[in-house]
Amino acid sequence: MPMDVAFCLKMECLPLLPPSPLKSPSLQHQPIAPAPTRIRSSSLKPLAAQQRRSSLSIRTSKSTTTLTPTTTPAALPPKKKVLVPIGFGTEEMEAVILVGVLRRAGADVLVASVESQLEIEASSGTRLVADTCISTCSNDIFDLIALPGGMPGSARLRDCEILRKITCKQAEEKRLYGAICAAPAVTLQPWGLLKRKQTTCHPAFMDKLPTFWAVKSNNQVSGELTTSRGPGTAFEFALSLVEQLFGESTAKEVEGTLLFHAHEDNPRKEEFNKIEWSVDHIPHSCRDSISLALFVYPPFPFLAMENGILCGTVKHRVMKYS
């Protein structure tokens, strides 16, 4: 506010003093009413303009502020929890393939030892180290329990009372469980977990399965139970469990990363020259193939080269081996 305007307001706002009181005694005791304050209207114009400008700036600043809604991140679904028990004599290939494939799919796999120590010696001498002892798992709930096979590993699993209770509770509550190799016949059968279940196992233990329910398949799914035959079918067994836990798309994705069916796209051998030819003359397209055959293979007792012509007594087909 300019100094002259402020000085004018200060001077104008002072109350006007009344004239000196009269000497009449009746008027001396009457209260003096203050005179109304008079302010020039011209002095309010700058103040009013400033107030309008300030209010306009406040409205403008309020209109430009934008509120961004706060979004809370969606909670991730809990991981599937899997138990893989091991003991002395467990088949190491089956145990490692099970753990590796299930972890690739995103499962939380817990390897538990049924022995008094975490480190065990597998059936072929490989040393495996478990994550924990089976005694710490008695109160846990698992989405899947998968038993590797091997001997005497399957018998060691069978004799573990804590594992028996956990697996029987798993079957009673209709959650997934499985076994491979000798474990279906040696471990699950004595526990009574194969009743009315189509089951397969290693050929050496097929006679221990119920005859009516035994099937000779590499991988068998029967309700909540999945069984398989041995180390050679361990990948198929593990991928089947992945499909039951996470769905077909996840199983296909993991299968692709493992190159599980790569041999079907790239055969081990292919025919180098598909043209059939007899031994009395050489097709022009096969001259290089004949030189390759004579270079790669040992001398054939029934073949001879005479004047650039391969002579023999039988028809021959040249193959290229990858």
User: Best-predicted range by mean pLDDT among 81-95, 266-280, 292-306?
Assistant: 81-95
C-alpha–C-alpha distance, residues 179 and 113, integer Å = 16
Q: What are phi and psi of 125, to 5 degrees?
A: 95, -5
List pLDDT tens digits, range 53-75: 555 444 444 444 555 555 565 66
Greater model confidence, 165 or 269: 165
pLDDT at residue 101 is higher than 80 = yes
**Residue 143 burial by Cβ neighbours in a 10 Å radius (0-12, 13-18, 19+):** middle
Instruction: Provide the pLDDT confidence category of residue 127 given band limits of 50, 70 and 90.
Output: very high
pLDDT at 5: 45
Among the CATH numbers 3.40.50.300, 3.40.50.880, 1.20.120.420, 3.40.50.2000, which is that of 81-264?
3.40.50.880
Rounded mean pLDDT, 189-207? 95
Q: State the pTM of this model.
A: 0.63
Per mean pLDDT, which of 25-29, 131-135, 207-211 is the most reliable? 131-135
* SS3 of residue 178 by DSSP: strand
According to the per-residue pLDDT averaged within each range, which of 21-25, 47-51, 318-322 is highest? Answer: 47-51
Residue 3's SS3 state is helix
CA distance 283 to 276: 9
pLDDT attached to residue 78:
85
Give the pLDDT score at 261: 79
With tokens 């081996």, the residue in question is: 321
Cβ neighbours around 166 below 10 Å, total? 22
Element (H, E) at 9: helix 3-12
Q: At what angle do helices 234-246 and 92-104 cross, to 10 degrees?
A: 30
Sorted by where each begins, the domain ranges of the chain are 81-264, 269-321
Q: What is the pLDDT of residue 211?
A: 85
The larger pLDDT score, comparing residue 98 to residue 39, is at 98
Q: What average pLDDT does the chain have? A: 77
Question: What local confidence, expressed as pLDDT, does residue 275 receive?
Answer: 58
Active site residues: 181
pLDDT at 62: 46
Residue 86's pLDDT is 98
